[in-house]
Structure formats: C-alpha cells, structure tokens
C-alpha cells in the first residue's frame, strides 16, 4: 500500500456492484478513495468494510445528474486532499424497451445519468488533472458500446456515445499527461438487472414488441446465470490505472471477449444473423 498512498481516486456509483468493488480494490491498493453515491443511506455496507479493514476510503454524496452536486463533491475532495489522480465514471443504469415504445422523457433520463453524468463529472475534474499534468480517467462502458441488441437502443446508444466521447478526448488530453481508458464489461453479477428500468409502453401487452420484450427478459436471465463477478471488472480497472502505458480499451469478462472476437471475425451480416438467432 505504499506505492499509491499519495494518490486520490474518485469513483461514481459506488453504493453497489462495479463501483462498490472498484472503490474497495483501489482503497486496498493504497489510493485515498472517494466512493461517491447519490443516496448516502446506501453507503452502510461499504462504510462497514472500510472501517473494519481500516481502508483509506471516504464516502461523499454525488448525484451525477445535478450540476451543483458535482461541483460540491469535487470541491470537497479538493479541500480535503488537494488533488485527484484517478476518476472512474461508473454511475449508470439500463433502460429496456423497443425504440418505438420509448418516451422522450425516458430516453432523456437515461442520457442524463449514463452520458451527461460522465460529461459533468469529467469536465469538472479535467482542469485539476491538467494543472497536475497527470491523471487517469476510466469510463466504464460496456460490450454494448461495441454492438447493439434488441430492446437496448437507449442504453446501447449511451454507451456508443461514451465510446466516441472517450476516444475524442483521449487525443485532447494526452498532451497534458492525462490518460483516458475505456473498460467494457460483459454481463456482470450486480443489481443491474433488478435496477433496470423498463419502458412504460413496453410493459403493456398491447405493444407490438411485447413478445420480444418477454423473450429478452428470459435471455438476460440466462446470461446472468453465467455472469462474471463485479470484482473482475474492479481488478481490470486497478490494473489499467496502475499501468504506465495502459491500453485505451479493456474487455472485462469471457462473454464479451467472445462476442467481440466474433464481431471482429465475421462480416456485418454474419454477426447480425448470429445475434438475431441468439435472441429468438
């Protein structure tokens, strides 16, 4: 714990799942870690672990959809620690439903968290890293940032947007010593499924896509049975942020490794047909 004991990490969406595990892993490695979350009442578990193991982990409130909350959280970190070396943009949720069934408000809410949340937090922290002439920004994307699937248009498009944003700013920030990293998990054993929001119209039996939605629920439940633990993603993130020359992209999970390998080897038509058959 000596190598990173002067470095400061900020992790969004840390009350459970990938954010929870990443905060713990970073703190165990010596990073002074700020585990941030919208609802502090959900921080009891991570606080208990940190206290028991005497980890350099602090919990602060941060709602990535609120400008003032982001400003206050970043100011609090800087007041206490004076620097930010690692930012892990992890906060997010899934919105399921056929595109035709999605309301504009539902899509806007999805983007507020999954994309504009990253936008807010990252823009607030870049000037700090730029002045330091160093820093690492990890954006937790998904295999769904590389390919789509039925019923996922809202969620998938936020991840595609995140991938494009990450690639573009990586060029802009490189001259200032700031590294940008994408981590693309597969299906992870978290509360993502229970926390998934289903479009209101997609739950109605009168929807033209109701049958498809029911099938996708079954497919996702099956995928969850062979899912990877969130600790796998957390360790990928730890490895990436400690690397002196990190890759731009890291896959996290055997399933996503297989999907991307197939996508790289197949024609677009072949991949479409394979995915289409998988969801029948």
Whole-number pLDDT of residue 193: 55
* Number of helical H runs and strand E runs in the chain: 11, 9
Tell me, yes or no, whether 1 lies in a domain: no
Whole-number pLDDT of residue 129: 98
Starting at the edge strand found earlier in the chain, the sheet holding 86-89 runs 57-61, 32-37, 8-11, 86-89, 135-140, 178-185, 249-252
Taking each helix axis from N to C end, the angle separating 268-278 and 254-265, rounded to the nearest 10 degrees, works out to: 140
Looking at the structure of the chain, the number of domains it has is 1
Tell me, yes or no, whether 220 lies in a domain: yes
- pTM of the shown model: 0.94
Whole-number pLDDT of residue 203: 84
C-alpha–C-alpha distance, residues 96 and 77, integer Å? 35
82-92 as b/e: b if 16+ CB within 10 A: ebbbbbbbbbb
Q: Please answer whether residues 144 and 106 qualify as being in contact, where contact means their C-beta atoms are separated by less than 8 angstroms.
A: no
Determine which one of 34, 155, 209, 250 is catalytic. Answer: 155
C-alpha–C-alpha distance, residues 66 and 112, integer Å? 9
Mean pLDDT across 87-105? 96
What CATH number did the domain enclosing 245 receive? 3.40.50.720
Domain range for 66: 8-278
Phi, psi of 244 (to 5 degrees): -70, -30
Q: End-to-end alpha-carbon separation of the chain, Å?
A: 49
Radius of gyration of the chain (CA): 19
The pLDDT tens digits of the residues spanning 134-187 come to: 999 999 999 999 999 999 999 999 999 999 999 999 999 999 999 999 999 999
Tell me, yes or no, whether 49 lies in a domain: yes
Q: Mark whether 250 is an active-site residue.
A: no
Name the one residue in this structure whose structure tokens are 């990443």. Answer: 22
Tell me, yes or no, whether 37 lies in a domain: yes
Tell me, yes or no, whether 213 lies in a domain: yes
- 4 vs 64, more confident: 64
Return the minimum-mean-pLDDT range out of 71-75, 198-202, 264-268. Answer: 198-202
Tell me, yes or no, whether 266 lies in a domain: yes
Tell me, yes or no, whether 260 lies in a domain: yes
Tell me, yes or no, whether 113 lies in a domain: yes
Residue 269: how many other CB atoms lie within 10 Å = 8
């Amino acid at each position: 714990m000596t190598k990173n004991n002067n470095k400061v990490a900020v992790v969004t969406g840390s009350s459970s799942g990938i954010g929870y595990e990443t905060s713990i892993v970073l703190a165990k490695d010596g990073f002074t870690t700020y585990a941030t979350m919208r609802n502090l009442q959900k921080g009891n578990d991570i606080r208990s672990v940190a206290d028991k193991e005497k980890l350099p982990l602090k919990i602060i409130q941060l709602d990535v959809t609120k400008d003032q909350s982001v400003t206050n959280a970043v100011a609090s970190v800087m007041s206490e620690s004076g620097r930010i070396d690692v930012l892990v943009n992890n906060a997010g949720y899934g919105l399921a439903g056929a595109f035709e069934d999605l309301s504009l408000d539902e899509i806007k809410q999805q983007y507020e968290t999954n994309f504009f949340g990253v936008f807010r937090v990252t823009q607030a922290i870049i000037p700090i890293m730029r002045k330091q002439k160093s820093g690492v920004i990890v954006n937790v994307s998904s295999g769904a940032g590389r390919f789509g699937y039925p019923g996922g248009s809202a969620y998938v498009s936020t991840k595609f947007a995140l991938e494009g944003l990450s690639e573009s700013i990586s060029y802009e920030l490189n001259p200032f010593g700031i590294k940008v990293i994408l981590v693309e998990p597969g299906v992870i054993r978290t509360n993502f499924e229970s926390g998934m929001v289903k479009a209101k119209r997609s739950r109605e039996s009168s929807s033209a896509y109701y049958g498809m939605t029911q099938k996708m629920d079954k497919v996702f439940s099956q995928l969850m049975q062979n899912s990877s633990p969130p600790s796998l993603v957390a360790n990928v993130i730890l490895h990436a942020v400690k690397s002196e020359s990190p890759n731009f992209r890291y896959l996290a999970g055997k399933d996503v490794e297989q999907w991307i390998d197939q996508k790289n080897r197949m024609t677009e038509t072949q991949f479409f047909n394979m995915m289409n058959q998988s969801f029948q």
